[in-house]
Structure 1
Amino acid sequence: MGDEARAQEGAVATSAPPQPREPHADRQARALAFSEWQAGFRTRALGEGIRPEIFDSVMTGVTPSSRVRELDGAQPEFVRPVWQYLDSAVSETRVANGRSAYSRLRPTLTAIEERYGTDAQIVTAVWGLETAYGSVRGDFPVAQSLATLAHDGRRRDWAERELIGAMRIVQDGDVRAGSLVGSWAGAMGHTQFMPTSYHRFAQDFDGDGQRNIWSEDPTDALASTAHYLAENGWTPGQPWGIEVRLPDSFDWLLSDRSQTHPASFWTQAGVTTFDGGQLPDHGPARLLAPVGAGGPAFLTYENFEVIKTYNNSTSYALAIGLLGDRIEGRTGVRATWPRDRLPLSRSDSRELQERLTAMGYDTQGADGRIGPNTERAIRQFQVDRGLTPDGTATDRLLALVRQG
């Protein structure tokens, strides 16, 4: 969790174009600056209780990684449509591999579910989406990755905290320094724990005296994920969400995702199960319509928000829920995605926010990320223009806003 590049089946989604070779003088200056940072960091780490010999065992031979710098700087400008993301995240291959893994590890997964109360198929889905069931766990030296991120300074406090956490893992005897490998951002093991999350949530489920998330055996990693979700509020027996059908007359002003309502509220609004039946009562729910009117709609429960604590992305949480459903044998999304509708790039989203605010529809900032404030501004614009107020940012909406 917390990794900034998710593994995709068939390829690792961390590729970046080759960079020009750094001039020799620049490399020398950077190496000097790194040694100065490392000297200061050593003092801070020892002040946090890291023993000198542990620091040296972890940091000996560590130099900045140009590859990590490239990946950290490769922030995507274009956003994939949710259906493209789900096509990969919940592919038939990933579903089939998940069912195979679920069947193979059923006794272990059942025991984990009984101890922590977290649904086994959701834990399996996290494993599948994070590392393709352990097949793509990352081979970056964690110390080098985190030291590079700390030295570059953009996220120094965070990276130093995680690097000290990695040193504590070695100091506690959980793993040797040379075995600390993971993603380019420092996430480790079958389910991609950052070091500080490892300390808080990792479990020794197999009883061998070690919380081993790096082993070929995924038992401890799966139990650690179940524990993480449980500690973050997982409600046993509650689904993540259900696909629903909205009436033609649905009031889209009710789709504010910051609001939850009981099943009776949604029933009164005309919402039914996808087959037209009465809504089950699983507690307060939010309406999630990832692409607005004309696309699939879901009611999501509190467990959906718990999944987002693992990765604060609506698309990620939706993928985990749907993959878990498919692994358990249920159907996937039944409504049709409007594949001719395109999401906005980051720069287009910033332009939309700036134009809406200038027109009097305040988005509370222009950061290129469409959140609740921007959605409310879009809805008000849509209401004033006689459009369906679904609050969704698309290329078509931006074209209308540009017209003034």
Structure 2
Amino acid sequence: MDHIAKLVDWMNTEGRRSGDPVKVVSHFCIALIDAGVPLWRVNIGQRFANPLLIAWGVIWTPEKAESYDVTHERLLTDDYVGSSFEYILKNRRPLHKSLRQLDPETEHGSYIEYAKLGGTDYYATLLHYGDGSVHGCTFVTQAESGFSSEHLSMIEAALPSLSSAMEPITMRKSSRSLLRTYLGDGPSKAVWDGTIRRGERTTLEAVVMFCDLRGFTELSDTADEEDLFDALNGYFDVVVQAVEEMNGDVLKFMGDGILSIFAIPTPDARADQCRQAVRAAQKALSDLAALNMERAQANKAKLEIGIGLNSGQVSYGNIGSPGRLDFTVLGGAVNLASRIEGLTKSVGHRVLATRAIAEASPESFVACGEHEVRGLASQIELFYLSEPLRQQDTMF
């Protein structure tokens, strides 16, 4: 057991401090092989506290090791249903299974696949964490005699130390994922790095994009709850994916409103970030058109949006009470983008922008005169988006 003792010591010290799941799992597997366990393929799965992802993990083979994510939707597919992960998490006990003479009609597809690739024996077992959560891991061998009882004993003896090394990684990954899901990339990094005190803020230049769903009040009054949430989720998917694909940050959902920014780190980056925001608006309109075709086929109401684009100085940080904070972005540039979006209804164009935005993409905008904006003493010149999204505009 000298090999196992050394493995346990490494996991509880260097492994626990490393923060690198691929490194930890690779060391774990290689150390077990050195101890005589004939590993061919290992999957260390970790459950997630996240509304978008339910699990993540690391798959190891002698050739490489890599991490992966699992969405909630995947749990409804045959990948999970009937798998060893479903079995051990449901029954809370290990599973040892030969991969020889399997019946393709009754066995789970993963067993059949491993057997075709030369797998002879399979072992699935549990990882237990200090918070009471349970996670799964699987081991496959190509050894002619499969896993012996001694092999399985060595795996089980090393698992608590693997839990010790993986648990802090999982907790950090889960926390960061939650922050990103609710705050966006930039703000989540700021909070993770310590920007957490009330009133603490960062001032920066940014392009602000404010988007709103047309007819939301009427839709709320006439649609049932399922149709309303279906419409909102479809609309949010379109806009969020467009913003994130163009490297923007979605900061807040305000009812049916979406507030996003494209940070301008240096003056030289201003024009490029303006163009990125324009591309995001174009892509949102293009993808909304595709969504509306699907909705029409399902006899669902057409969705329309309005978008306001502006650039200027903004401040983002924490506001609220000592016991309840909100990470948000504030400033005149934000207010103007929101009010410009409101003018899309009366001006008659879905995307309106200020001169600073239009000048960065002159081929995409047409001047539509000066307009009164609530809160401003003088009128402001606005431009409407005219150029459709071209395929090459999405290639970077």
Q: Give the TM-score normalised by the residue count of structure 1.
A: 0.20
Q: Max radius of gyration: which structure?
A: 2
More strand per residue: 2
Q: Give the TM-score normalised by the residue count of structure 2.
A: 0.21
- The structure, 1 or 2, with the larger RCO (C-alpha pairs under 8 Å, 6+ apart) is 1
